[in-house]
Chain A
Amino acid sequence: GQQLNQSPQSMFIQEGEDVSMNCTSSSIFNTWLWYKQDPGEGPVLLIALYKAGELTSNGRLTAQFGITRKDSFLNISASIPSDVGIYFCAGLLYGQNFVFGPGTRLSVLP
């Protein structure tokens, strides 16, 4: 079945630094989504991307839908302590269910 890879698996950064993470797949998707999950909570949608090449921002977050439709990246600028959590990418191919990546665990050091 379809699988997503996320890198890095985990990262430790200083408060104020920018963060970049990506998600890759061997198959194409029609929609890419980025979620954040806090410990013991359900995921919350951050950004949804609908077409290849699309670049979308949500506050300090920016995400892009790769031209090949097989990848996406998420950037967080000027990180703050509340950015701590697990970031999941998810791909959606029409007519099929979501596929979630394994997540990138972000820790922000004060």
Chain B
Amino acid sequence: GAVVSQHPSRVICKSGTSVKIECRSLDFQATTMFWYRQFPKQSLMLMATSNEGSKATYEQGVEKDKFLINHASLTLSTLTVTSAHPEDSSFYICSARPVAGVVYEQYFGPGTRLTVT
């Protein structure tokens, strides 16, 4: 149980285009989903927290107009990287906290590797 999927697993896009990444909780409902960014050989950096039906909360330094997050249902959150540039190339990982989960509980997706050319 507690499986989180991400789609796509890899995406290559041209500079200036937008890319949408989906995060789904497959066998549980998630009130809260988190989006992280990970550079090579570095740790996970929290970008934003999204709660179903409300606006996402972005961490300091993360541009909300560039990284659009939508959490339209209890099983789906999307991250759209708008007007992507090469410096946006990274590994994006989502995690989901079950509706009845305890505060530390979050299950990670397998990640999406974005390459902007």
Residues in chain A within 8 A of chain B (CB atoms): 31, 33, 35, 40-45, 48, 88, 92, 94, 97-98, 100-103, 105
Contacts and interface: CB of A to CB of B under 8 A. Distances in A.
Given A33-B104, A92-B103, A97-B49, A42 B109 contact: yes
Contact of B44 (A40, A92, A100): A100
Contact of A97 (B41, B46, B107): B46
Contacts of A43: 44, 93, 108
A31 B102 CA distance: 11
B7 interface: no
Contacts of B4: 42
| Chain B interface extent, by class | 20 to 34
Contacts of A45: 107
B85 interface: no
A63 to B, nearest CB: 14
B95 interface: yes
Report the 4 A-B pairs with minimum CB-CB distance, sorted nearest first. A42-B108, A100-B43, A100-B44, A102-B43
Contact of A44 (B45, B49, B108): B108
B103 A42 contact: no
A28 to B, nearest CB: 15
B60 to A, nearest CB: 8
B94 to A, nearest CB: 8
B43 A103 contact: yes
Given A40-B111, A92-B103, A98 B46 contact: yes
Contacts of B34: 97
Given A48-B104, A92-B104, A98-B46, A40 B113 contact: yes
Contacts of A101: 43
